[in-house]
Amino acid sequence: MTVFARSGYATSPVTQVGDHAGISSAYVMKLFPRKVDLFAAAIDDCYDRIVGTLEEAADEAGHAKTTEILDRMGARYAELIADRDLLLLQVQALASTQIPEVATAVRDGVARITSLTMSRARADAGQAQEFIARGQLCHLLTAIDAFDTDAHWAAALTTGIRHSPAS
C-alpha cells in the first residue's frame, strides 16, 4: 500500500514493492502474476481497513439515531485518513480507474462503504450520498493541506469538516 500510495500505479515497480515488504520480487510475482492484481489487492486492503473502521464506529454508536452513527463514522474516517498513505492510495486508485481492474476494485470499495452506511447507520440514499460526498471533500482538503492554509476559500471549505493531523 505504501509504495503505490507514494508513487502511483504506473511508476511503482514490483521490485520496489517487494523491497518494501522485505520479500523478493519473484515471490511477489508468484503471489500476484500481474502488477495490476497487486495494485487491486492493495486497494482491497485499503477498503478493508476503511470498512472495518466504519463498522467499529457503528458498533460503538449502538442504536443511536442515523445522524449520530454517521457522525461517529465520519469522525473515525477523519482519523483514518490522517494516515497519508491510506489517503493517497485512494487518490492514486481514482487516478488509475481507466484500468478496468482498478475501476472494479474502487467501485467495489465504494459499494461496500455505501452498503454499510445504509445498513448499519440506517441511512437513506440522500444521507448515504452526503456521507460519501463529505468523505471525498475530506480527501481533497486533506490532500491539499487546506486545513493549514490561511485563506478565505480554505476557511469556507473546511468549516464544519473534521480533521486529524497527518501521521
For the chain, where are the alpha helices, taking DSSP H only? 2-7, 14-21, 25-31, 35-61, 66-80, 84-95, 100-120, 125-143, 152-158
C-alpha grid cell, residue 152: 478565505
Torsion of CA 43, 47, 52, 56, to 10 degrees: 140
pLDDT value of position 139: 84
pLDDT value of position 164: 66
- CB crowding 116-135: b at 16 or more within 10 Å, else e: bbbebbebeeebbeebeebb
- In one letter, which amino acid is 2? T
pLDDT value of position 108: 98
pLDDT value of position 138: 87
Q: Which fold has domain 36-158?
A: Tetracycline Repressor; domain 2 (1.10.357)
Over the chain (167 residues), what is each successive 10-residue block's mean pLDDT? 90 88 87 92 96 96 94 92 90 94 97 96 96 90 90 92 67
pLDDT value of position 128: 97
Distance of CA 25 to the CA centre of its chain: 26
Torsions phi, psi of 67, nearest 5? -65, -35
| Number of neighbouring beta carbons within 10 Å of residue 59 | 11
Nearest Cα residue to 81 out of 21, 160, 147, 29 = 147
pTM of the model: 0.88
DSSP state of 97: T
Cα–Cα distance list, 107 to 60, 75, 116, 138, 161 (Å): 27, 23, 14, 19, 25
pLDDT value of position 110: 96
